[in-house]
Amino acid sequence: MGKVKIKKQSTIIDMTAMSDVTVLLLTFFMLTSTFLQKEPVTVITPPSVSEAKVPDEKLVQVLVAPNGKVYLNMTGAKDSTQLSTETFRKEVLLDVYGDRKPGLTQKQVKEFCNLGTFGMPLNKISEWLNLPMEKRDEALKEEGGIPIKMSVKTTTEDGQSAAGQPNEFQIWLKAIRQVMHNHGLDDDLRGGHLVAIKAEQNCPYSLVQVVMDNLQTEKLNKFTLMTSLKQEAEE
Residues 179-202: tens digit of each pLDDT? 999 988 888 777 777 899 998 888
Q: Is residue 67 part of a domain?
A: yes
What's the pTM? 0.74
Number of residues that this document lists for the chain: 235
Q: Is residue 130 part of a domain?
A: yes
* Domain total of the chain: 1
CA–CA separation, 39 vs 7, rounded Å?
64
Q: Is residue 22 part of a domain?
A: no
Q: Is residue 114 part of a domain?
A: yes
Report the SS3 class of residue 14: coil
Which residues lie closer than 8 Å to 226 by C-beta, 6 or more apart?
Answer: 45, 54, 61, 196, 197, 198, 199
Residues 51-94: tens digit of each pLDDT? 677 777 888 999 998 888 899 999 988 876 788 999 999 999 99
Containing domain of residue 215, as a range?
Answer: 47-153+160-234
Q: Is residue 32 part of a domain?
A: no
Q: Is residue 18 part of a domain?
A: no
Q: How many other CB atoms are found less than 10 A from the CB of residue 158?
A: 5
What angle separates helix 168-182 from helix 85-97, to the nearest 10 degrees?
130
Q: Is residue 82 part of a domain?
A: yes
What angle separates helix 205-217 from helix 168-182, to the nearest 10 degrees?
50
Judging by DSSP bridges, how do beta strands 228-229 and 47-48 pair with one another?
A: parallel
Q: Is residue 138 part of a domain?
A: yes
